[in-house]
Amino acid sequence: MSITLKTPAEIEKMRIAGRLAAEVLDYITPHVVPGVTTGELDRLCHDYMVNVQGCIPAPLNYAPPGYKPYPKSICTSVNHQICHGIPGDKQLKSGDIVNLDITVIKDGWHGDTSRMFLVGDASIQAKRLCEVTFECMWTGIAQVRAGAHLGDIGSAIQRHAEKAGYSVVREFCGHGIGAKFHEDPQVLHYGKAGTGVRLEAGMIFTIEPMINAGKPAIRELADGWTIVTKDHSLSAQWEHMVLVTETGFEVLSVSAGTRPQPDWVK
């Protein structure tokens, strides 16, 4: 495993990239309404990233080993889709929940973040899943500081999700990020406290728990990208990009419209 610690100059570039990614989500928020297609959301985000921000959409044509190139600029995962949902002709309807996952490249550095959106009138169950998933992300972030372990993050997230009656997706995780989209370390959203890599100041990685209302089992759709719950239960995800500091953490994917951290996070 090769974890790169970022220099102060690199951290500043990551702050800019993280803010720009979050600002895409601010921009698209009023457009996430019943009747809009996920393809239209992708087109709007693409144009904003390229023409307004001067960024490169990192997912477009991204092709890790074993995958065909991803065909769109954002990921749109609706209802029982867990992650990597490909935008298309699907119209959002009232009651849907959707995760919009944004990654930009600015001056060679990546910014990565995602949020859940409630479309129209969502059910109490859907709202609770999205809220508990938001809490899971922040429960994980709250563990971050130099000297802690990666297992502390996963353990806290798993405990919070399972206490609420939900399950944690095992096959996908957070990741180191910087000049590359995906770097070491892998950040699992389950595990045992006190185990795994010891955190050091200058590490930057994502914390992005995928939480299912039903069982954790997944399956991949024929498009080769979209991951769904095997039991067709709802799934939610929130994501922030986090810097390890000597005394704690700094969230880098922050903009004017970012939902603030909960009061209980120290």
Query: Helices (DSSP H) in the chain: which residue ranges?
Result: 8-28, 38-47, 124-141, 150-163
| Residue owning tokens 């880098």 | 252
Residues 14-24: tens digit of each pLDDT: 999 999 999 99
The helix/strand/coil state of 43 is helix
Total structural domains in the chain?
Answer: 1
The neighbouring-strand residues paired with 207 are 240
Residue 261 included in any domain: no
Query: Does 121 fall in a domain?
Result: yes
Length of the chain in terms of residues written: 266
Specify the CATH number for the domain of residue 40.
Answer: 3.90.230.10
Residue reference for tokens 């809490």: 135
Are 84 and 226 spatial neighbours (Cβ–Cβ below 8 Å)? yes
- Return the pLDDT at 266: 74
Cβ neighbours of 263 (radius 10 Å): 6
Closest CA to 73 of 107, 35, 100, 34: 100
* HSE toward the beta carbon, residue 108, CA cutoff 13 A: 5
Is 265 part of any domain? no
Residue 266: inside a domain: no
Q: What's the CA dihedral at 140, 146, 149, 154 to 10 degrees?
A: 10
Exposed e or buried b per residue across 124-145, where buried means at least 16 C-beta atoms within 10 angstroms of its C-beta = eebebbbebbbbbbbbbbbbbe
How much is the pLDDT for 235? 98
What's the CA angle centered on 125, arms 223 and 35, to 5 degrees? 55
pLDDT at 23: 98
User: Which portions of the chain are predicted below pLDDT 70?
Assistant: none
Helix (H, G, I), strand (E, B) or coil at 48: helix
Does residue 257 lie in a domain region?
A: no
| 8 Å CB contact between 124 and 29 | no
Tell how strand 56-57 and strand 75-78 pair up: unpaired
In a domain, 39, yes or no: yes
Q: Kindly report whether the peptide bond that precedes residue 65 is cis, defined as omega within 30 degrees of 0.
A: no
Q: How many CA atoms lie within 13 A of 237 on its CB side?
A: 34
Q: For residue 259, is it within any domain?
A: no
Q: Mapped to the 3 state alphabet, what secondary structure does 181-225 carry?
A: CCEEEEECCCCCCCCCCECCCCCEEEECCEEECCCCCEEECCCCC
Domain that holds residue 70: 8-251
In a domain, 3, yes or no: no
